[in-house]
Chains A and B, each alone.
Chain A
Amino acid sequence: SYVLTQPPSVSVAPGKTARITCGGNNIGSKSVHWYQQKSGQAPVLVIFSAGDRPSGIPERFSGSNSGNTATLTISRVEAGDEADYYCHVWDLSSDHYVFGTGTKVTVL
């Protein structure tokens, strides 16, 4: 089955840039989505199709995808960005969706 690997944690100071990676075999050929999940809440879509933002999501959130790595970038990090983040793809070979292992972002 297809596996998506994320770093367990990322720490960043307020105002700085956080980069969260999502590794998968030839992930650059897939459409990658990213979700933010704050403590005790349901996930929220923050990036879809690698780089598009749903309405209401700040421009500080951006995404890229190439080769074997997709990246979610959060610019000018704020305390409110502290959350778990998950990448997500459709795996055509298995006809299944897959979530990444998740990354906890801590704002110092």
Chain B
Amino acid sequence: QVQLVQSGSELKKPGASMKVSCKASGYSFTSYAVNWVRQAPGQGLEWMGWINTNVGNSNYAQAFTGRSVFSLDTSVNTAYLQINNLKSEDTAVYYCARENQGSFDLWGRGTPVTVSS
């Protein structure tokens, strides 16, 4: 079955770090880039950036440069999103999505992250 399975919800304190996983199955993982998308409560979709699953390079949206890090473990077909020094405004649902010729044709179910003291 072609799918992206994300890790479960997270509750973190300000200043902590978090790492969300996105495991691909049913297709060739290294043939498609993985994108990350954030959705704050009651807000729209916000593109965070992508990681090239073949060579491992990344492209970050300006708002997510610095504290966000994309990484891979191709041995288990998994992409990761790490955010350091969490702030309350990082509270959101984080989605991974497969990029296919410019569109995002396959999405994970999302990982809710709450940052609160």
Contacts and interface: CB of A to CB of B under 8 A. Distances in A.
Contact of A49 (B47, B97, B102): B102
Interface of A: 1, 31, 33, 35, 37, 41-45, 48-49, 54, 84, 86, 88, 90, 95-102
6 contacts: A33-B102, A41-B109, A43-B37, A43-B104, A48-B102, A96-B62
Contacts of A98: 47
B109 A48 contact: no
A99 B59 contact: no
Nearest to A1: B62
A85 to B, nearest CB: 11
Contacts of A90: 102
Chain B interface secondary structure, helix, strand, loop or mixed?
strand
A45 B46 contact: no
Nearest to A101: B44
Contact of B108 (A42, A96, A99): A42
B29 interface: no
Q: List the 5 closest A-B pairs by CB distance, nearest first.
A: A48-B103, A102-B44, A33-B103, A97-B47, A42-B107
Interface string B66-105: 0000000000000000000000000000010100011111
